[in-house]
Amino acid sequence: MMTRTGLSDFTTNGKRLAILSLLALCIGILSGFVAFILLRLIGLITHLAYDGRVGWSLIAPNPHHWGILSILVPVLGGLVVGLLAKYGSDKIRGHGIPEAIQAILENNSVMDARVAVFKPLASAITIGTGGPFGAEGPIIMTGGAVGSLVSQFFRLSSLERRTLLVAGAAGGMSATFGSPIAAVLLAVELLLFEWRPRSLIPVTIASAMAEAIRAWLIGTAPIFGTPLSGTLPLTVLIWALVIGVAAGLVSGVLTKLVYFLEDAYHKLPMHWVWWPALGGFAVGLGGLIDPRALGVGYPTIRTLDAGHLLWEAALILFVVKAVIWTVSLSSGTSGGVLAPLLLLGGALGMILSPLFPGHLAGVAATMGMAAMLGGTMRVPFTATIFALETTHNWALLLPVFVAAVAGMAVTVLWIPRSILTEKVARRGVHVAREYSVNPLESQSVSQVMVPRDQVFVLNGNLSIAEAAHRIAGQSGSNRTSYPVVDRDPDRAIGTIESTTIFGQAERAPDTSVKDLAQPLLTIGDWERVRTAVEQMARHNQPELVVVDSQGTWVGFMSQSDTFTTWKKAIAAEDDRQRIFDWPTFGKNNS
């Protein structure tokens, strides 16, 4: 009697999960230290570049120290980054997250060791010399590189390496912002391409360990803060929707502008190594107009979240930041998109706050942050939890979520790809962002197989010549192989392909069918269609014998039979019908 195994809510191998979890724990610790070192390196370069002294804290760049000469600081930083990309690794160019996605999709989650060295260095130079970027993108990529490198020392599959790469990336984000839950959600929404315990559990462990390292080295205070006392009226949801739609429109414009400028850079009569320096010149000019637009911008985001910025100042900051960020980002320099989006969203919320009753500028800024992040990166769950973890203000949960989803809705309906996936698509890789249960999981083998009484069967004792004759007499048969039974018709002993039968009919006509039959490959009638397709692919066999729990063969299944499942899925998507008719009043229905 066969046991009906393999049917459960999730598919998880306990031994493999334990191995991945242990490795993820180590990767989370490493990612926490890497993030701390990178943040301190950014602080050091900022102090040296703008103050001419040694310091390790994250400060806002101060261009007034050098005056007009401060324009040269980001130019020199861009030049160094361009040279690092040319002579170190060109993988350091860009946001960080698209490069991690590409490594997952194209390179079996294997990342070059040079990335772990040159990416944080290039990002620290870019941001430390005033680049209007966040450290999270480079840290995510660096953490991913750490996870990938660790995985390469062990005998792992490509999917297991992906889990550890993403574990490192989530650990980097968690250690940067103190947002372990949002880091895991970002992994699920953007990097894992699945929702399974085999990946979710190790990634969570890495994120939690990185947060623990951050708490030990930096502390547990929220990186941002939103002053809010009491509860908000439900009418705030209307304003959350307004901010979300506005952020979605801005997100679309910024995404299109970044790639318009990137195309413009490609038309310049100069090597790409000089582009970051050119973008740095725009950054230097913008810094003279509004210094708050330079660098990671965490102090400025805190000011926005606290509601301590005048409307006019928020407008100037928004314009300057948007311009220098898009010009610099499109140049191929090294820097993240998360912090700039938070600053732009916060400034947008601040600009719109006078429209709201009560003028809750800090609340509007926080909703704008989540909406801009959710709209531009299309990660509404990450954006929501991130806004709450970094402010510790959980009273804003519902309005922040509404704003984030509204922002995503606008960009999804307007532009086909996000600012991250467009980068990968331009390199020839399409990223599918929709998660759903595989239609092949929705039906059992018994629902799509051909029942036994409708299957043409060959007795193993027949000669090949006789078998060929019988098959030829089966009009309309389109089977490529047939079940072979012994004297007991309830027991299948193998399968034989029609090409084998007809190919041997003249060469060895007296050979018995069972001598040429392939070993029996069965599938339980209770199994999912997905399992059957995996069996076919793994053994390179287009058809399977279906058995019941007693081991008796009850049907036959081919690749074409799996189309039944897909047809059902297509019908569920496309076939529309009204179940109830609208009542007709005033008409004689007799």
The number of domains in the chain is 3
- Domain boundary, last residue among 392, 425, 458: 425
225: pLDDT strictly greater than 90: no
Tens digit of pLDDT for each residue in 414-473?
999 888 888 878 877 777 777 777 788 878 898 888 898 888 888 888 888 888 888 877
Residue appearing with tokens 């990137």: 262
DSSP summary character for residue 109: T
From the list 519, 501, 523, the residue with the least C-alpha distance to 511 is 501
Would residue 92 count as lying in a domain? yes
* 211 and 258 fall within a common domain: no
Q: Which amino acid is at 311?
A: W
Q: What is the CATH number of the domain that holds 213?
A: 1.10.3080.10
User: What's the Cα-to-Cα distance from 486 to each of 98, 123, 311, 460, 550, rounded to whole Å?
Assistant: 57, 70, 86, 6, 17
Ordered alpha helix ranges (H), 12-157? 14-46, 72-87, 97-106, 113-128, 136-151
**What is the CATH number for 477?**
3.10.580.10
Q: Is residue 506 part of a domain?
A: yes
Note whether residue 580 is domain-resident.
Answer: no
pLDDT in tens, 82-138: 898 888 777 777 666 776 777 776 777 777 777 777 878 888 898 889 988 877 777
For residue 587, tell me if it sits in a domain: no
Same domain, 455 and 392: no
pLDDT of residue 436: 76
Same domain, 318 and 466: no
Domain that holds residue 280: 236-425
For the segment 133-149, the average pLDDT, to the nearest whole number, is 80
Q: Are residues 469 and 406 in the same domain?
A: no
Looking at the structure, do residues 323 and 212 belong to the same domain, yes or no? no
581 in any annotated domain: no
Structure letter (DSSP) for residue 55:
-
**Domain identity same for 262 and 360:** yes
Do 158 and 256 lie in one domain? The reply is no
Pick from 447, 326, 346: which is nearest to 387 by CA? Answer: 346
pLDDT in the model for residue 1: 45
- Dist. CA 155–CA 23, nearest whole Å: 12
| 384 three-state secondary structure | helix
- For residues 189 and 94, state if they share a domain: yes
Q: Check if the beta carbon of residue 504 is closer than 8 Å to that of residue 465.
A: no
Torsion, CA 523, CA 525, CA 528, CA 529, rounded to 10: 70
Mean pLDDT is lowest, of 170-179, 256-265, 296-305, for 296-305
